[in-house]
A and B are shown apart, each in its own frame.
Chain A
Amino acid sequence: MTPLFAAEGLELAYGQVPACRNISFHVEEGEVVTLIGANGAGKSTTLRAVAGALIPRAGSMRFHGRDITRLRPDERTNLGIALVPEGRHVFPFLTVRENLELGGFKFRKESTRVRTLIEQMFAMFPRLRARASQNAGTLSGGEQQMLVLGRAMMSEPRLLCLDEPSLGLAPLVVQDIFRTIRSINAAGTSVLLVEQNARYALETASRGYVLQTGSIIVSGSCSALKQDERVHQAYLGRAAVAAGSQVPVSP
């Protein structure tokens, strides 16, 4: 079976500065896959390439078996790839409702569908409903993260890419966000998760890839990765593993 998304031998660079070498990974239909690694390992760069914000120097990407390597970000969104960028990036001077509406831009000719989707997002994030007509820039960090998640889901993506969804959020809010990510996945959306918080990432995903200085060094099922000596020492640490067992997994 062809995977939902597959990247083959990606070479990524910012201008003349190389960032990632020979990156190959795939996401199966219905999976949560995580890319973990230290700051600057190339996780976000890889995700930018998946979304089309960075065109690779070499290598290819396929979505549903179709070659998407040279497609623009808007074309990929219309095919069913949604990216929640690092740092959230709400449209600060648009209202919460307008932000969601733009998330459903590809359905702009079907106004009932957009309204139904907005209702679904409000059901998933009741706090957004209360702030529907407020400018998105006035929301708290946690609320903004909910908004960008909802905004991405407005395009009914097959593959949801998340870049550091826990960044800068309080632990309780992070739990909330991860619970939502799991329920989004349970409803049938595949997820590609980039996360510095390796513990959360490995608890949420089924498979993972570990990046170090721009290359994938290990990959495998998350339960195997948790036992891997290198992952262990670099990202989890003994104390963290003990704490990790207390992370609530079920909603």
Chain B
Amino acid sequence: MLTVILQQGINGVVVGSLYVLVALGLTLIYGVLVQINFAHADIVTLGAFTAYFVTHLFSGNYFAGIAAALIVGAILGWLVNAVIFAPLRERANELLPLIATIGVSITLQNVMLVLLGPIPYAFDTPYSNNVIRFGGIFLTMQSVLIIMMSTIAIGLLYAFMKFTILGKALRAVSQDRETAALMGINPNQLIMLAFVIASALAGMSGAMLGPVLVLTPFAGTTVIVKAFAIVIIGGFGNVEGTIIAGLIVGLIESYTTQFLDPGLIDIVVFALLLLMLAVRPTGLIAEKREENV
């Protein structure tokens, strides 16, 4: 019994840490812009497919695939901001960018559907079948890799936000965009930076989710729905809350699969979301927004 709990705990952390990477991107963009990028899901999917093809192209070099997915994600993020958010920001309408990104999302999905077809791709990396055993617990090298890579990515992002002047400027823009501009910070450049970082993370998590998920042009959508839940449970714009919520959702998912029924995953996650909204609508870690006079 204990081994089952441990085993599922590890599986939960593996999936959860990838959800965290996706959700951190959403929350980063929401932080600086108070906008939601629905195309984030498709950047995850495109990251997964990029990694799939590049890994095959480089005869099984999975790391080349991850790197390519990261770059493709960054470019897509840059494009989404440059083409949609930046021009529409001038119009000062909050709804337009949201609807435009839904349009981009649907377009990308259908383009992928035409090019790649609806049949799931089997994405096996050289590490997928490499199993390590601790007592009764089985762990693929792929899982170890996922946990390592996402821990590094989250750690680097955290250090960037906490210790570099650009990271601090990014936080300043999230807290008070107009005042940040008075500091000599160009908010538009920082918003672009947020998009590039968020989308690079999404592409990279796609590369690692590819082997775990059912890889179709709609793969990202299933992830993004949970990422939204995580962002809300963790508190919009809150990095620590997002990390904790992501791991919780990952664990809930694997324990629900084990002890209840895999079909119940979404019901349990969204029941938690609704409970959270009712009890603590500001999220796990609430920042006090009132000004101290």
Q: Which residues of A contact B (CB under 8 A)?
A: 51, 53, 72-74, 77-78, 82-83, 85, 89, 91-94, 98, 101-103, 105-106, 108, 137-141, 144, 151-152, 155, 168
In the complex, the number of residue pairs spanning A and B with C-beta atoms less than 8 Å apart equals: 77
A105 touches B184 (CB 8 A): yes
Q: Return chain B residues, CB-CB under 8 Å to A78.
A: 184
Chain B 274-293 interface mask (CB, 8 Å, partner A; 1/0): 00000000000001100111
A94 touches B171 (CB 8 A): yes
A91 touches B179 (CB 8 A): yes
Would you give the shortest CB distance from A128 to chain B, in whole angstroms? 15
Q: Which residues of B contact A (CB under 8 A)?
A: 165, 168-169, 171-172, 175-176, 178-187, 287-288, 291-293
Cβ 8 A contact of A102, one of B178, B183, B187, B291: B183
Query: How far, in angstroms, from A168 to B291 measured CA to CA in the complex?
Result: 13
Cβ 8 A contact of B169, one of A72, A102, A141: A102
Q: Return chain B residues, CB-CB under 8 Å to A105.
A: 165, 169, 183-185
Q: Which of A93, A155, A168 has the most CB of B within 10 A?
A: A93
Q: Can you name the residue of chain A whose Cβ is closest to the Cβ of B167?
A: A98
A73 touches B172 (CB 8 A): no
B292 touches A93 (CB 8 A): no
Query: How far, in angstroms, from A139 to B184 measured CA to CA in the complex?
Result: 24
A137 touches B288 (CB 8 A): yes
Query: How far, in angstroms, from A139 to B291 measured CA to CA in the complex?
Result: 10
Q: Can you name the residue of chain A whose Cβ is closest to the Cβ of B287?
A: A93
Q: Can you name the residue of chain A whose Cβ is closest to the Cβ of B187?
A: A74
A137 touches B291 (CB 8 A): yes
A102 touches B180 (CB 8 A): yes
A82 touches B182 (CB 8 A): yes
B291 touches A151 (CB 8 A): no
